[in-house]
Each structure stands twice: as structure tokens, then as C-alpha cells.
């Protein structure tokens, strides 16, 4: 366990993918307070740890005690993400969490992929 200390405030935090996502728990969200969290890692390993990670965001954010709007930016489409969004939508609104979905795509060279623009 890491020693206790004051929370760290950042504008943008990337949440780890694959097996490293298991290290992101409610303590992470209590201590790393970001305006935007990017959930990346579209792979089969992420699906197994995605729901606990998203629930940890709700639990951790609840303990902030201050009203800061948070944006969650998934970089992939996921059934787990859709289910979590629908099941916890009211709680997300209470906590000031917005899940940013995008229908925009970017074409670069021979590749097209979904994208969104984040401004600070």
C-alpha cells in the first residue's frame, strides 16, 4: 500500500489497459483526481476488468467531497461499457460524471478509426 498523502489533481489521466487495469481501484480514483479519464485498451483482457474499474470510479469519485465535473472517454466500444452506462446513469449524473461517446472518425493514410476532441 502506498503511503497516505493529499490527492493529485490532473487534467487528463490515461487508465492502463490489459492486465495492468486490475491495479486501478477506488483508492486510485480517490488519489488521482482528473477532469478526464481515458479508458483505452480494446482487447479481450480489458473486458474482464472493465466493470470493476468503472465501479471504482463511481466509488472513488463519491469520496472526493467536492463538486468537480469528470469526463470519461472510452476509446473502444464495449458491451460491458454500455451495460455499466445504462445501469449507473443516474449515479453518474449525481456524481458529475459524463461519458463521452463519439460518432466521429478520423482517416489517416489507409486507416479509419473513431476519435473525439478534448479541449481544456
**pLDDT tens digits for range 79-91:** 888 899 999 999 9
- Distance, in Å, from the CA atom of 68 to the CA atom of 87, rounded to the nearest integer, reads 22
Using CA atoms, how far residue 65 sits from 1, 33, 62, 75, in Å, is 23, 12, 7, 28
Residue 40 binned pLDDT confidence (cut-offs 50, 70, 90): confident
Q: What is the mean pLDDT of the chain?
A: 85
Question: Which residue, 40, 33, 31, is CA-closest to 10?
Answer: 33
Confidence of residue 20 (pLDDT cuts 50, 70, 90): confident
Confidence of residue 102 (pLDDT cuts 50, 70, 90): low
Q: Is 97 helix (H, G, I), strand (E, B) or coil?
A: strand
pTM of the model: 0.82
Q: What is the mean pLDDT of residues 5-22?
A: 85
Residue 5 is classified by DSSP as -
Amino acid at each position: 500500500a502506498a503511503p497516505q498523502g493529499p490527492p493529485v489533481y490532473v487534467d487528463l489521466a490515461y487508465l492502463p489497459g490489459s492486465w495492468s487495469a486490475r491495479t486501478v481501484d477506488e483508492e486510485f480514483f480517490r488519489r488521482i483526481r482528473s477532469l478526464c479519464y481515458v479508458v483505452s485498451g480494446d482487447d479481450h483482457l480489458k473486458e474482464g476488468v472493465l466493470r470493476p474499474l468503472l465501479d471504482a470510479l463511481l466509488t472513488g469519485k463519491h469520496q472526493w467531497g467536492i463538486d468537480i465535473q469528470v469526463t470519461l472517454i472510452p476509446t473502444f466500444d464495449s458491451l460491458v461499457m454500455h451495460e455499466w452506462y445504462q445501469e449507473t446513469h443516474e449515479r453518474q449524473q449525481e456524481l458529475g460524471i459524463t461519458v463521452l461517446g463519439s460518432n466521429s472518425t478520423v482517416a489517416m493514410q489507409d486507416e479509419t478509426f473513431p476519435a473525439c476532441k478534448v479541449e481544456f
